[in-house]
Structure 1
Amino acid sequence: MFKLRSSHHLIVCLTILVLCFSGGSLSAAKRPNIILIMCDDMGFSDIGCYGGEVDTPNLNQLANEGMRFTQFYNNAKCTTTRASILTGLYPRFGKGGHLRQNMVTLGEAMKVAGYQTGLSGKWHLMKTKGYAKSEVPGGWLNRYDKTTHPFFRGFDSYYGVLDGCCNFFDPTISDPPYKRAGIRSFGQDAGAVTEFPKDYYTTDAFTDHTLGMIRRYSQNEKPFFIHLCYTAPHYPLHAKPEDIKKYVGKFKMGWEQMRKDRWQRLQELGLAGKNWSLSEGDSRSYDWETANQDFEDLRMAVYAAMIDCMDQNIGRIRQTLNQTGQLDNTLIVFLSDNGGCSEEPGGRDPKVRHPGPKDDYVAVGPAWGWAQNSPFRRYKSWVHEGGISTPCIAWWPGKVPAGTINRSTAHIIDLLPTFLEIADTKYPETYQGHELLPLEGTSMLSLLKGENKTLHDSLAWYWSSNRALRQGPWKLVWDKDVKQWELYNIGDDRCEMKNLADNHPDRVQKMAQDWFTWADKVELGPKVKSK
């Protein structure tokens, strides 16, 4: 028996008893909310806190009050990155697709942990049953596979585009013939969305849905996990006139000078390490002096306006968190799904291409796409650093040390185990009767607390015949344009300037064998591996 020393002591004891009998715990009651924000096709050095010209005060504030990573990796491509973030696994390339029933999603795992869950924006992992992309809005939903639909994979609430990137102002407008993707399917929970208001803009709409979830979920005691997947600044280049106006004329320096300016700012910000240097040239870039500079400036201005609008919306999220009393108990993580994009559907003829409004479909092209990843080489779909290095910001008041830079190597497969540790739960061995693939990511919670440590002995990549393997400081790369292995010591040469393959043939051979072993594991077929 024990004596009650005061009425306050009685209240404390009764509180503990209530928690015990309700199945809760004191630690569970303090678990943070988590908001994982991912943008689409944004370069390493586009935002202000990573050396860019775009006005991003809200992201800059998150960085100044939180942590920036310099060696955080993605999978070089929209779909494969999304698969890995959701599952904590490398993407599988076999017949089963990227998302299978022997994989648990972040939505499912966090829901089991007692979190309210939601997803806004781009999904891009839905399979259909023999149904071609439709010219009818919502057409994909006629025969979707529930096992790959977000609403049936653990997310209590869903709103967004299910299959790629759509028209930002009117998602009922089909992609042009030169893109050949038809009308993208929009969904809300398990249903289709086929009508949109006149003042519609996807970046705002995805945020609106997120704000609604924050307000609704904040009324309950359970914490929430929200995954917000912006399509900005992925092409088509669509932005509001007032946002575009801020940037017209600001990119007349051209891509070569922009890269040099960003490189200088990266050094001033303390992000660039001593082993960094500005990479030179790209095989797909072209000469600024002979380009149509007004058109090129406008393309980049619209792209910048798309990022600017996204940053404004991130400010709305912080404001809503504050209004609902959730701000100080929320972890926000921001990153990009891959590097800047060199794709150019529709070409760059200024007589036929018009960046900005909803009635055209334009991209920034290879020269800007390369420059957006300064100081690194290459871009989206390639697995040099420019394709797979993402800006990554983590903000968590009182937990993530403010104004810090973490140079540890981490990967998107590490996010799921990190969030599970924060949620005080473990990765399950089975889920809904299915034996799960073993988790491949490692919790990076220690990194968020300010430690620097090695999480992986080896990391590997593949997309569109491009390959890479990193082991410690060594990185082996196969560029599909070059068609031979290159070897870099990332510890001495982060920007991959000095190919050491001829100096270390044994290392190249051993690492290549390791890559092929990994390729078997992720079900890359013999035809792919032989190229």
Structure 2
Amino acid sequence: MKFRLLAALLFLASSAAALAADPPPNIIYIMSDDMGFSDIGCYGSEINTPNLDALAADGLRYTQFYNTARCCPTRASLISGLYPHQAGVGHMMNDRGYDGYRGDLNRNCVTIAEALKSAGYRAYMSGKWHVTKATQPKSEADKHNWPLQRGFDRFYGTIHGAGSFYDPNTLTRDNQYISPHADPEYGPDQWPGETYYYTDAISDHAVRFIKEHHEQTADAPFFMYVAYTAAHWPMHALEKDIQRYAGKYDAGYDAIRQARYEKLISLGLIDADATTLFPIDPAAKEREFWEWDKRNMEVYAAMIDNMDQGIGRIVQSLRETGQLDSTLLCFFQDNGGCAEQYGRRGKAAPRNSEPTMPPMADSDLQPRMEPQQTRDGYPVRTGRGVMAGPPDTYIAYGKAWATVSNTPFREYKHFTHEGGISTPLIVHWPDQVKRAGKLEQTPAHLIDLMATAVDVSGAEYPKTSHDGQPIKPMEGVSLAPTFSGKAIDREAIFWEHEGNRAVRNGDYKLVAKGAKGSWELYNIAQDRSEQTDLAEEHPEVVEKLAKQWEAYARRANVLPLNPKRGK
């Protein structure tokens, strides 16, 4: 209760001096998928991201911003301003029998889009939704947690979480499924490449929503949520983008990671005395199929490059409509780099010289996350040696490259060590953020982005939903004071996913792997790579933080810890 009262008081204090002007700002939140801390140029990468780099140069980069370690929980937490279990999405999109694990965004929360209605905002979304079980609705009522039913005025994207970039399943415009190859509103003459590519489509619809809003309702502010699926597996990219990275990774995993580490230090994003470049797991390094795994990283880089190009088009549309200076734009990620082995096992199937399956009609909907075939009848292939990129492949980039992505942190997506939960945050708002190019060291969490949006918009956060359901109070703290270099205060930040759990209080972080894992203690200011466990040295700190985590778990619907499906 102490933490919630403190957070509420801090929010009210920040609201009293909110940055919202008259008129209030547009707000755009852009999130990428399955990317590590060092995967964009201004956070240490060799990948070409000039548009994100430019936003960082004119705005702020946060060095200690956190997500929830997995896609669905992050999306639920971001959009609701609550910890994911409080919003009903403690795991993935299945009901595990407890309120924290229903797999559906509940009605005891409001979305940012719903909360900003009180301040006159219109709301748009382009990209990945992934906070509902209803991916095969039998009726309109089953769509109660689709974007238009949760406060958005327009939506283009996917309801499900992953799929082909050339033929995504559950592709939706507003409230209806569509085929990308039979879409009268976004056809081949509007595709930037020679084929439909989902990342381009997300970018182009975000641009469309900005321009249409300016033409039709320019007197109202807008909130837009852009949720890319780049760079989540499968490694799909357009050949024109892949070609930019031919030979880029010839030096191998260790050399690329070392270069990123040195660049992160030179940029001031990490402290050499507080980070360690520990060895990449030798078993994760590909030797027999090195040319294949090198190609996987080339495609991964091309996916990020294409996303950055699209972000550039979004920024340009704001500039052309005279809205860039008055728009709060934030870029961040849903979890750390992904070490999942999807599509990487087994022997590679060769590509047939001719299609072997009946072609799909343009109007056919793609029913599967992993398609069985391409539109023109080629089987979709997985396995070691299948060269990623084209639509007939479905491959992840693996643990070794994920370790490079997460430089210099431990672990990956799923885990609550720093590699699973650390993300860039770029904040750009020329009218109010005057600390161009600065680094912000304040620890923050994506739960703070609801509080920030409510603060700067002047919206009134509701206590009940439109049908009278009680709404949980926001868990986050507005980041608006940090825009001008002021401090925020909070007692602690908490995590849990699949039994992996953590609490950070000041410089100390208590973290464990799995429901039965022992607590580990790290001083993040001195050891952000989490290499020296201080649990035995400071048992009193372990006891204090463990009690804080247990209190959070009881109040935030976390318990029972990691329940199985149907239990």
Provide the residue aligned with 2:175 in structure 1.
Answer: 190
Question: Would you say 1:113 and 2:119 are equivalent positions?
Answer: yes
Matched AA of 2:129: W
- Indicate how the Cα distance of structure 1 residues 300 and 397 shifts in structure 2: closer, same or farther if over 3 A, else same: same
Structural mapping, 1:313-462, within 5 Å: 313-348=310-345, 351=348, 352=383, 353-400=386-433, 401-432=435-466, 433-451=468-486, 453-462=487-496
Mark the runs of 5 or more structure 2 residues left unpaired by the alignment. 1-19, 91-97, 182-186, 189-194, 349-382
The answer to whether the Cα contact below 8 Å between 1:185 and 1:192 also exists between their aligned partners in 2 is: yes
Cα gap change, 1:141 to 1:410, in 2 (>3 Å) = farther
Q: CA deviation at 1:526?
A: 3.0
- Please tell me the residue identity of whatever aligns with 1:226: M
Q: Please say if residues 383 and 467 of structure 1, whose CA atoms lie closer than 8 Å, have aligned partners that are also in contact.
A: yes
Counterpart of 1:252 (choices 237, 250, 253) is: 250
Superposed CA deviations along residues 461-498 of structure 1, whole A, max 9, x for unmatched, are: 11122111111111111113992211101122122121
Say whether the 8 Å CA contact 1:91–1:98 is kept in structure 2.
no
- TM-score (normalizing by structure 1): 0.87
Q: Of 101, 116, 128, which aligns to 1:122? A: 128
Query: CA RMSD for the aligned pairs?
Result: 2.1
Correspondence list, 1:292-331, <5 A = 292-331=289-328
Say which SS state the counterpart of residue 274 (structure 2) adopts. Answer: coil
How far did 1:62 drift?
0.4
CA distance in 1, matches of 2:477, 2:226: 22
Asked whether the 8 Å contact 2:31–2:228 carries over to 1, the reply is yes
Opposite residue 374 of structure 1, the aligned amino acid is T
Give the TM-score, by structure 2 length. Answer: 0.81
Please give the per-residue CA displacement for 1:163-183, whole angstroms capped at 9, x wherever unaligned.
102210112xxxxxxxxxxxx
**How big is the shift at 1:87?**
0.7
Matched to 1:218, the amino acid is: H
Who is 2:527 aligned against? 493
1:381 Cα deviation (Å)?
0.5
- Preserved CA contact (<8 Å) 1:108 1:153: yes
Tell me if the contact between 1:75 and 1:461 (Cα under 8 Å) persists in the aligned partners: yes
- The 1-side partners of 2:514 and 2:254 are apart by 24
Secondary structure (helix, strand or coil) at the match of 1:320 reads: helix
- AA partner of residue 240 (structure 2): E
Q: Deviation at 1:454?
A: 4.1
Q: Is the 8 A contact 1:263 1:278 kept in 2?
A: no
**Deviation at 1:109?**
0.9
- CA deviation vs aligned residue, 1:79-115 (integer Å, no higher than 9, x gap): 0110111111001133344511110101111122111
2-side partners of 1:282 and 1:502: how far apart?
27
2:562 is the alignment partner of 1:528: yes
Structure 1 counterpart of 2:162, which letter? C
Report the AA paired with residue 367 of structure 1. Answer: A
Which residue number corresponds to residue 147 of structure 1? 144
- State the identity %: 43
Q: Is the 8 A contact 1:43 1:390 kept in 2?
A: yes
Deviation, 1:148, is: 1.3
**Is 1:85 matched with 2:85?**
no
Is 1:214 paired with 2:247?
no
Question: Does 1:163 find its partner at 2:160?
Answer: yes
Determine if contact 1:100/1:147 at 8 Å carries over to the other structure. no
Report the Cα distance in structure 1 between the residues aligned to 2:166 and 2:33, rounded to whole angstroms: 17
Tell me if the contact between 2:493 and 2:504 (Cα under 8 Å) persists in the aligned partners.
Answer: yes
Matches within 5 A, 1:478-517: 478-480=512-514, 483-517=517-551
Distance 1:190 1:292, change over 3 A: same
Residues 215/141 of structure 1: CA separation in 2 closer, same or farther (3 Å cut)? farther
- In 2: Cα distance, 1:120 partner to 1:447 partner: 28
Cα pair 2:416 2:496 within 8 Å, conserved: yes
Alpha-carbon separation, structure 1, partners of 2:410 and 2:246: 26
Report the number of matched residues: 482
Shift of 1:217: 1.1
Please report how far the alpha carbon of residue 285 of structure 1 lies from its aligned counterpart in structure 2 after TM superposition. Answer: 5.3
Amino acid across the alignment from 1:378: E
More displaced stretch, 521-530 vs 81-90: 521-530
Residues 274 and 286 from structure 1, CA distance in 2 versus in 1: closer, same or farther, beyond 3 angstroms?
Answer: closer
